[in-house]
Amino acid sequence: MRRLGEFPFVVAVRDALPWSFIGLAGAFAVILGIELRTGFATAQPLGLRLASALLPAFGVMAAALVVVLPVRLAAAAGYRVVPLLFGSVGGFVLSLPRPFAGEPIGYLRAFGPSGLFIAILACAVTAAWIAALRRVVPARSADYLGALLAVATFAGLAAMHVSLPALIAAALHPIARLGDTYLALMVIVAIETVLWTAGVHGPAMLAAVITPVYLTMQMQNTHAYTQHAALPYIVVVSLFLFVFPGGAGATLPLAALLAISKIPRLRRVGRATILPALFNFNEPLLFAAPVVFNPHLVLPFVGAPLVLATVTYAAVALGFVARAAFYVPSSVPTFVSTYLATQDLRALALVAFNIAIATAIWYPFVRAYERHIGPGDGAAGDA
């Protein structure tokens, strides 16, 4: 996993996704403003307008990613920026759904689920051509020739009327069916947390695969709720709000336990990161404790969310808590977000129960980690 995390393309994707999120945030704000204005005229619920604004924002994010990713990959792998950028953007444009006519937000909404896939694929194909040609021709010639061949590859697919978005949608269709299962939930939670322990941003790496699918399912729940119909899906984007209190790894209890630690260094870390953890922002905690590459904290980091996923799925499937009807951003504090997502007061009890379970799981490992560090390290930290 450590070697995978250092692979140039993985490094480039990991570095490019946060920058492309800026495009997502900007587009979401603009589209949400439009949705709010039209929503008041049609009396649409706020949750529906939020979900309606996010999916087309993924199309804008894909356009940003196809520019940022080649730049990052060129720096990581030693390629020339201009040909890599030309091949990636050219392949991306040739892969856009046809026709281009129609209402822009509607077009972005249709393209959003597959946009990130296509942006990553366009850059990967260009880089693969360049890497292959560099073995037989000088690097400068290989870079430009590889970019041309990449564009020719996507042009050939377009000429044969092969639609990558349609192929990807077809490939995602069975995943969407499998997505509303306990097994799928466990696999997603396990992959996200295991990647984090290896230093790879699990949610960001899986965003292109997971978020569009589960957001589409979330929107179907929202539509059913507005029609006073039974919600079709259990596993949707907002269900993960119950699984990850404090962020990936369910680290809100970790921040709280460190805040009262007997080790001064850990106590400072906990007190500095508990406020961000309340808003499910735990990157400072993961690298300050640290959790990443820390064998003492790997088991609870992976195990706690798996247990919470099991408890949450069972509670929702058995009808103890309502299914999540609305999309709510993960940056909203857990107790607030889970209620807003379900419109069910019982969600608060489930979150409290989950946090108690996670605390019980984290506690012995934190205490063992404190014993491993020892008071000497704490004293040094104070000095």
> Residue 215 burial by CB count (10 A; 0-12/13-18/19+): exposed, middle or buried?
buried
- What pLDDT score was predicted for residue 208? 60
The predicted model scores a pTM of 0.60
Distance of CA 327 to the CA centre of its chain: 14
- What pLDDT score was predicted for residue 65? 86
- What pLDDT score was predicted for residue 314? 95
Nearest CA to 197 among 330, 286, 108?
Answer: 286
- What pLDDT score was predicted for residue 380? 39
C-alpha distances (whole Å) from 175 to each of 167, 196, 210, 217 are 13, 23, 9, 11
What letter would DSSP give residue 324? Answer: P
- What pLDDT score was predicted for residue 61? 81
- Residue 235 is which amino acid? V
Nearest CA to 54 among 23, 21, 31?
Answer: 31
- Residue 307 is which amino acid? V
Positions of the chain with pLDDT under 50? 1, 40-41, 378-383
Give the separation between CA 49 and CA 232, rounded to whole angstroms: 19
- What pLDDT score was predicted for residue 101? 62
- What pLDDT score was predicted for residue 119? 87
> Residue 180 burial by CB count (10 A; 0-12/13-18/19+): exposed, middle or buried?
middle
- What pLDDT score was predicted for residue 49? 64
